Structure 1
């Protein structure tokens, strides 16, 4: 069962949330909870709505004002939507990277800058040999 399916009449939702039906009506008018409406305009609450009503009650018990609760719920909903959008974009990006012919590879050049390479191409690195030997005591005086 989908938690967003509107199932409960206001009396049942009030009982499940531990609130008075008039409180649910007030929260609906304020936009704290938005139950669906039947063709006869009666409210139908989902399990998601009931969970949100319980969260409202918990925040109210902690002393948060109704306006503060509204703002918290709006931000939580926004975070949920953005999280879902990020997941969608991650999946789309992964699909694009896997299915794109001639994918690009990135590497760092000798200065540390990022350079784009074609698949199979390697970055050219200096291959000079530097010989080092410690200076002897006689050589140290000449330097």
Structure 2
């Protein structure tokens, strides 16, 4: 079962999270946990939602305010989304490398721009010597 599949009704989600169903409704109203809705507008919670509810209970027991918990959950969700995006990009890169081996290599230029190189070539390194002198105060 996918952790994002909305399968649990509010009563079952409350039982799994060891909370009262009214607490889940309140968390939904203030945006701490946003379950998906059925066509009839009833809430359906996923395993990820249940984990978030347990995390909210843990953080609340440690004395963190609901606004602080909301911010923590937002940041954790952002990190999860970024990890997923990195996996997508890594997959796309590996597919591209398999489909077109040895075609091009990319490097960072001195100004931070992207430079495309042919396979087997290197960027030229700057070899100048820069002398620094302190500014004379008059």
Q: Same fold (TM over 0.5)?
A: yes
Deviation at 1:82, TM superposition (A): 0.7
Hey, what does 1:77 align to over in structure 2? 77
Tell me the distance in 2 between the aligned counterparts of 1:23 and 1:39.
Answer: 23
Counterpart mapping for 1:3-18 below 5 A: 3-18=3-18
Tell me the distance in 2 between the aligned counterparts of 1:117 and 1:8.
Answer: 53
Larger radius of gyration: 1
Tell me the distance in 2 between the aligned counterparts of 1:9 and 1:20.
Answer: 13
3-state DSSP class of the match of 2:52?
A: helix
Tell me the distance in 2 between the aligned counterparts of 1:117 and 1:38.
Answer: 52
Hey, what does 1:62 align to over in structure 2? 62
How many residues were matched structurally? Answer: 115
Hey, what does 2:50 align to over in structure 1? 50
TM-score calculated relative to the size of structure 1? 0.69
CA RMSD of aligned residues (A): 2.5
Tell me the distance in 2 between the aligned counterparts of 1:43 and 1:69.
Answer: 21
Q: Give CA-to-partner distance per residue, 1:14-69, whole Å, 9 cap, x none.
A: 11111111110000001111111122211111222111100100010111110010
5+ long unaligned stretches in structure 2: 107-114, 123-138
Deviation at 1:102, TM superposition (A): 4.6
Hey, what does 1:109 align to over in structure 2? none
Where do 4+ consecutive residues of structure 1 move more than 3 Å?
A: 115-122
Tell me the distance in 1 between the aligned counterparts of 2:45 and 2:117.
Answer: 56
